Amino acid sequence: MEKIESYLNPKRMAILEEESVDVFHGMTRKEIDCKIIFINAALISSKENTEKLTLKQKDLASFLSIAEERISRYLSRHETRYKESEDYRSLSDKWIEKFCSFDSTDHKEHFKDKLKQIAETNSERSCKKMINILQELGFYQAPQIISEEELKLVEND
């Protein structure tokens, strides 16, 4: 349990400091949302981090002192809230990215799956708009297209 606490406590403190929410307490919508986001992000981060620790739902249940069934309910609620609310989705993605960066894990696969999900549920036009916005904000850089002449020059050098 000590290893689990040393893994989760810095993440818990980060949410407490940045969102002013303690995942152990509170029953307002924001507090419950943050608790659910904490649970989901911790599970994803630990799953993608093979070096430290792979958490299971029962580990989080014992850390938060709640029943394991409640963790399952929270995770199913996460799926629903993630689809329904843009604010919730953005907060969730932010904390997944932060938790993964805390662990220095490569979380490209997670976001690749999310992008596939977005592409399947949105029109081509909407996806192009999203890509343009990401480019403007500097989160995405379009791949450079090299002409055959340029490719031949590089091969010759």
Same-domain status, 74 and 119:
no
Q: DSSP assignment, residue 107?
A: -
113 and 97 inside one domain: no
Same domain flag for 54 and 113: no
Specify the pLDDT at position 120: 79
Kindly state whether residue 27 falls inside one of the protein's structural domains: yes
Domain of residue 35: give its range: 1-105
What mean pLDDT, rounded, does the chain reach?
A: 82
133 lies in some domain: yes
pTM of the predicted structure, to 2 decimals: 0.66
Other Cβ atoms less than 10 A from the Cβ of 6: the count is 11
pLDDT in tens, 2-15: 788 888 888 899 99
| Domain assignment of residue 22, yes or no | yes
Positive or negative, the CA dihedral 105, 108, 111, 116 is: negative
111 in the same domain as 99? no
Distance CA 84, CA 131 (A): 21
Tell whether 116 is covered by a domain.
yes
Amino acid in position 52: K
